[in-house]
Structure 1
């Protein structure tokens, strides 16, 4: 199996991740030797579910186990991934303290059409025409992921979302240099003034800002290669914030944090 394509991690990273989980389980006196799938294969299975957004019935056929077994493995391994990767990466506050310019952009996590009587209406995005949650993504000018924010309702505009998740206070309160889109008070492209064309220096400024912001688009693309965040999350919405956090840590782990 080509692990980097299928699970998102290369062989060395896979072995290290499984070793960390094994250490935790050993410390708690938990043995998995009686299970049909060993620990390595269980971790591999959960990563495939995250990376490929594979339905559990299909994963059950692939591993020749039952769908309830897949569900139990998912609920067993997922919190362990969160635990062993807790020291991966740095917070937005720590990144701001380093003094480097930070790129910020919002993206949406599709959640499918949910009943309007529940959270469906609040999460429906008129811009994207889909039920979703909205997160903010921070990265460096070099194109490295820093962090993702807590999700907010998909119906909220980016300018409201960045305030609701607490990032605007962090960025503005620290005096950090940050570059975002036109929905914020950061360094942004200059809007066109009605009745006149942009001046040459304004065009050049917008070109420079757009060139810098291209890196955050690549960062979001890398994050959404974990297809559970891009194809349409089907599980319980209450569990999605934890999954976003775990996938963020896995992506940071993958790129070498």
Structure 2
């Protein structure tokens, strides 16, 4: 029986996802060798991996199978999840069509410091390698969209422009000082040797207080440990893991992490 703290989904959500997979995949084929794992076990293993970022060797020990079996199983379920949940994607413009002010911030999903990509993926700000994603939510904490990945060496201002977010966000959108000069509502930067007036400090406080909600949204996203702990797999599989793991989050009632995805109301 799946439990939300273990898989990130409650029983009903797990059953819904299992049914969708069962309709999409022919798990046991008559002309092939029987699989060592049932479809329910395969889905649970994939959820355990995404939720807790467990090693494949440990999962293999739990289910008394080999590590290559676990690896093949996770890859197969991830590929199926991406296809099954892709119809839930909505255009970024529609996803961000929400009343009131929005809040944006960037976050780094850490990865192993692969030698071939050290220069473009290493974030000097965070002192680690990873991918940059832009997170956009409402002031009451409803996640609206997460953009696709860009190299961790890129600052938030670059990512904002690269994704073309200026077409959807304006001066009513709250942001931190990393977005100064992009037409958003940002705090005033402190200039060395210049004393900041009380009025400016009060204005910065007015902006920063509601903006803090995006930090809580990011923390909630990263309860899926594969997006918080170091991503250990080859970087070529990152987009698939990010997409499938995040879309599963729809059923966990927090967010689909597909490229420029929108959270449907369930």
Distance 1:89 1:9, change over 3 A: farther
Q: Which structure features the higher share of helix residues?
A: 1
Say whether the 8 Å CA contact 2:2–2:44 is kept in structure 1.
no
**How big is the shift at 1:36?**
2.2
Q: Secondary structure at the match of 2:233?
A: coil
Distance 1:229 1:111, change over 3 A: same
**How big is the shift at 1:156?**
1.2
State how 1:178-257 maps to structure 2 within 5 Å. Answer: 178-184=173-179, 185=182, 186-193=184-191, 194-200=193-199, 202-255=200-253, 257=264
Tell me the residue number matched to 2:136: 138
State how 1:1-257 maps to structure 2 within 5 Å. Answer: 3-25=3-25, 30-32=26-28, 34-88=34-88, 90-115=90-115, 118-164=116-162, 166-172=163-169, 175=170, 177-184=172-179, 185=182, 186-193=184-191, 194-200=193-199, 202-255=200-253, 257=264
Distance 1:8 1:137, change over 3 A: same
Distance 1:127 1:242, change over 3 A: same
Q: Secondary structure at the match of 1:255?
A: coil
Q: CA RMSD in A?
A: 2.0
Q: Deviations over 1:179-232 (max 9, x none)?
A: 1111222111122355232233x3332222222112111111111111111111
Say whether the 8 Å CA contact 2:78–2:240 is kept in structure 1.
no
**How big is the shift at 1:75?**
1.3
Distance 1:112 1:12, change over 3 A: same
The TM-score normalised by the length of structure 2 is: 0.85
**How big is the shift at 1:89?**
6.2
Say whether the 8 Å CA contact 1:224–1:230 is kept in structure 2.
yes
What stretches of structure 1 of length at least 5 have no aligned partner? none
Say whether the 8 Å CA contact 2:95–2:145 is kept in structure 1.
no
**How big is the shift at 1:96?**
2.8
What stretches of structure 2 of length at least 5 have no aligned partner? 255-263
Say whether the 8 Å CA contact 2:139–2:213 is kept in structure 1.
yes
Say whether the 8 Å CA contact 1:101–1:176 is kept in structure 2.
no
Q: Secondary structure at the match of 1:139?
A: strand
Q: Secondary structure at the match of 1:135?
A: strand
Distance 1:87 1:3, change over 3 A: farther
Distance 2:235 2:96 in 1: 30
**How big is the shift at 1:79?**
1.2
Distance 1:247 1:148 in 2: 13
Deviates more, 1:154-163 or 1:44-53: 154-163
Distance 1:246 1:205, change over 3 A: farther
